[in-house]
């Protein structure tokens, strides 16, 4: 099963990713986590990424595309994976498409978690992450609307988009996701 989890910051991608990964026994690939790891190790990539992350901006496409290509080439991704936080721009989605077309392994579905902006703000303010300061949150939501939300149409046109309401209990949301995959 090759899945992408799409949604604004605070939509609950990380939480649902944990469950999906267990259900389908696939690796969970989060570019945000990979970048935070690189930053903690102070690798050149981590140091470069940090300045963008602190401002709530996207790390340049070439950097994350390179990171993801390398990760997807590893043997544990052979039988599927769950992408969380990637792609985040049309350029990233096109690169991913190209890569998947080369190996003839298209995405099974793109799961889109829908949550309204005031709720996102409340959730993000309640979280205690370094990039969850109010100003950074606003920047991240703006970046999402401008650069990532166009992916909803991108994947709708490809016929793989499954949109699900991301409000309610974690169990309810998970149930909706599973049902959307069965439809
Ligand atoms: P996340 O944990 O997915 O919310 O990502 C945290 C931060 O990492 C984002 O605000 C970006 O600065 C950076 N990041 C994560 N994924 C990507 C991506 N696919 N493209 C560009 N930047 C990313």
Contact 31, 67 (CB under 8 A): yes
126 alpha carbon to ligand 1 midpoint, in Å? Answer: 19
User: In terms of Cα–Cα distance, which of 72, 76, 77 is closest to 87?
Assistant: 72
| Ligand 1 atom closest to 36 (CA) | 8
Dihedral angle sign, alpha carbons of residues 17, 99, 158, 94: positive
Model pTM score: 0.96
122 alpha carbon to ligand 1 midpoint, in Å? Answer: 20
34 alpha carbon to ligand 1 midpoint, in Å? Answer: 9
- 75-115: per-residue pLDDT in tens? 999 999 999 999 999 999 999 999 999 999 999 999 999 99
86 alpha carbon to ligand 1 midpoint, in Å? Answer: 8
- 127-183: per-residue pLDDT in tens? 888 888 899 999 999 999 999 999 999 999 999 999 999 999 999 999 999 999 998
Asked whether 64 lines ligand 1 (CB < 6 A), one says yes
């Amino acid at each position: 099963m090759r899945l992408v989890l799409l949604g604004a910051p605070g939509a609950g991608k990380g939480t649902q990713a944990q469950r999906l990964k267990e259900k389908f026994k696939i690796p969970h690939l989060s570019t945000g986590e990979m970048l935070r790891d690189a930053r903690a190790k102070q690798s050149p990539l981590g140091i470069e990424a940090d300045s963008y992350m602190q401002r709530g901006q996207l790390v340049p496409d070439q950097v994350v595309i390179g990171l993801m290509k390398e990760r997807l080439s590893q043997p544990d991704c052979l039988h599927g994976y769950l992408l969380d936080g990637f792609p985040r721009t049309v350029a990233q989605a096109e690169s991913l498409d190209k890569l998947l077309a080369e190996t003839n392994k298209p995405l099974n579905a793109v799961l889109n978690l829908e949550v309204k902006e005031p709720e996102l703000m409340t959730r993000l303010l309640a979280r205690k992450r370094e990039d969850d300061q109010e100003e950074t949150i606003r920047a991240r939501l703006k970046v999402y609307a401008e650069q990532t939300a166009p992916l909803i149409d991108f994947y709708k046109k490809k016929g793989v988009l499954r949109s699900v309401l991301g409000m309610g209990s974690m169990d309810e949301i998970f149930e909706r996701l599973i049902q959307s995959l069965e439809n």
